[in-house]
Amino acid sequence: MAASWLLKHPCPPARPWTSTRNATGPQLITITYRRTTCTGRSAAVAVKHQEEGTDDEWLAYLEPAKLEVFDQLEPWAEANVVPLLKPAEVAWQPADLLPDPASLGADGFHAACCDIRARAAGLPDAHLVCLVGNMVTEEALPSYQSMANRFEAVHDLTGSSGTAWARWTRGWSAEENRHGDVLNRYLYLSGRVDMRQVETTIHNLIRSGMVLNAARSPYHGFIYVAFQERATFISHGNTARRAKEHGDVALARICGAIAADEKRHELAYTRIVGKLFEIDPDGAVRALAYMMRRRIVMPASLMTDGHDSHLFAHYGAVAHQASIYTASDYRGILEHLIKQWGVEKLVAAGLSDEGRRARDYVCALPQKIRRLEEKAHERSRQKAQPTTSIPFSWIFDRPVNITMA
Ligand SMILES: [Fe+2]
Ligand SMILES: [Fe+2]
């Protein structure tokens, strides 16, 4: 199996240095540079896959008996998921949060823009990098709607399907669309970022797509999105709090409005997965373990600006240091979901052997991550970690200090 996995996943072209990530935590901690060898790291990964079950394991979720669950759940989704969407007339729109040139007139609009620029002038570069990274992530929405439409049994077959699942996905996408729009317009008006570089990054990211394990399985997909929605809720919420501390109340309001949407989306996806845990606990917990063993990779991990070959890792490190999204947040999300879905309370009698192993693995994972956090904290307490200055093209190549491990 190891050999066939290696054939399907040949070694990447030799690069002198590559960033590596923690196997149990997010890619947002510190960055380690290490030599990659085909017989070393790749072989170890192949063996790890063999130990954890084959990559084909998730294909069992595409069998008709598993997918029929979602047909049966459609009336439930109609009653419990679709109502979580807000009609366009009631929802906030970017125009509500930014100066309106039509009503303010030329002078009023100019004054309002000067006000935005004055407040944004107080934002530290690290905060701007986080804000741009968040905005770039939101702007790659075409990839996320495509992702949802790869989930078997719940996808939008015609593009205007009337099923509850399809209407949810379109409504969710419409709400998400406002997030990138409002952040993009704010950053444009702020005058603090190199918009061409930011736009190039968005262009590249949409072209590159996103990484998602078990991409066609709705079980795995909904788990991934539930995790992501909570991650974005935390990230935008923290960005709002920091913006307020730095005196930019307009930005705090924008990020706060986005965070509130993400919270509602989190509720929807958490509710869907919760229902799966209720009717198929064995299938649900095995899918959760599958996703956690491979780590939840942030949807913008393929971002590039054409300058920094480790852009995503660098953005992640800045977000960690600025307390916008940290390793502890990753663990906290997992702990929250374990609680929400009652994973610890799953009774052994209702689970297969593999299901019991999956439950035990998932429930032990937060503690493992916590120990890694403590070790990292201890290392930095004993010996100051070296910092390096990373220039970000998004902010005209001004450098931001990042701690290296
Ligand atoms: Fe969003
Ligand atoms: Fe969302």
Closest ligand to C-alpha of residue 179 is 1
DSSP string, 175-235: HHHHHHHHHHHHHHHHT-S-HHHHHHHHHHHHHH----TTTT-HHHHHHHHHHHHHHHHHH
Q: Which of 220, 265, 314, 320 is catalytic?
A: 265
> From the CA of 262, how far away is ligand 2's center (Å)?
4
Which residue matches tokens 């070959």?
Answer: 309
373 among annotated binding-site residues: no
DSSP string, 373-395: HHHHHHHHHHSPPPEEEEEEGGG
Measured CA distances, 65 to 69, 76, 93 (Å): 7, 18, 41
Q: Could you tell me the two tokens for 92?
A: 């906030």
Give the 3-state secondary structure percentages of the chain, helix then strand then coil, rounded to 5: 65, 5, 30
- pLDDT (mean) for 169-173: 98
Sign of CA dihedral 231, 237, 242, 243: positive
For residues 323, 95, 110 and 203, what is the CA-based torsion angle, rounded to 10 degrees?
60
Measured CA distances, 207 to 140, 238, 275 (Å): 9, 29, 34
Nearest alpha-carbon partner for 62 in 51, 54, 70, 53: 70
139 among annotated binding-site residues: no
Give tens-digit pLDDT for 352-374.
Answer: 999 999 999 999 999 999 999 99
Residue scoring higher pLDDT (129 or 31)? 129
Nearest alpha-carbon partner for 337 in 266, 254, 286, 283: 266
> From the CA of 298, how far away is ligand 1's center (Å)?
13
Q: Which of 24, 163, 169, 232 is catalytic?
A: 232
- pLDDT (mean) for 28-36: 37
DSSP string, 66-98: HHHHHHHTHHHHHHHTGGGS--TTTS--HHHHS
Residue 64 corresponds to which amino acid? P
> From the CA of 176, how far away is ligand 1's center (Å)?
5
Report the CATH number of the 60-403 domain.
1.10.620.20
Q: Side-chain half-sphere of 32: how many Cα atoms within 13 Å?
A: 11
Q: Are 285 and 359 in contact (CB under 8 A)?
A: yes
C-beta neighbour count of 17 within 10 angstroms? 11
Q: Side-chain half-sphere of 189: how many Cα atoms within 13 Å?
A: 24
- pLDDT (mean) for 253-280: 98
| Residue partners of 262: CB distance under 8 A and separation at least 6 | 229, 230, 232, 233, 236
Q: How far apart, in Å, do the first and last CA atoms of the chain sit? A: 34
> Per-residue confidence at 44, pLDDT binned at 50, 70, 90?
low
Q: Could you tell me the two tokens for 163?
A: 């099923």
> From the CA of 180, how far away is ligand 1's center (Å)?
7
Cα distance between residue 182 and residue 310, in whole Å: 27
Q: Which of 5, 138, 139, 152 is catalytic?
A: 138
Chain mean pLDDT for the chain: 89
78 among annotated binding-site residues: no
- Does residue 8 register a pLDDT over 80? no
> Is position 56 annotated as part of the catalytic site?
no
H or E element in which residue 401 lies: strand 398-403
Cα distance between residue 314 and residue 259, in whole Å: 23
Q: Could you tell me the two tokens for 255?
A: 């990020």
Cα distance between residue 136 and residue 130, in whole Å: 10
> From the CA of 392, how far away is ligand 1's center (Å)?
23
DSSP bridge partners of 400: 390
Cα distance between residue 36 and residue 25, in whole Å: 20
Q: Could you tell me the two tokens for 26?
A: 């997010």
- Does residue 23 register a pLDDT over 50? no
Give tens-digit pLDDT for 109-147.
Answer: 999 999 999 999 999 999 999 999 999 999 999 999 999
Give tens-digit pLDDT for 279-334.
Answer: 999 999 999 999 999 999 899 999 999 999 999 999 999 999 999 999 999 999 99
C-beta neighbour count of 108 within 10 angstroms? 13
Q: Which of 139, 152, 175, 176 is catalytic?
A: 176
Q: Where are the alpha helices (DSSP H) in 98-163?
A: 101-120, 125-139, 141-148
- Does residue 15 register a pLDDT over 60? no
Domains of the chain, by residue range, sit at 60-403
- Does residue 246 register a pLDDT over 50? yes
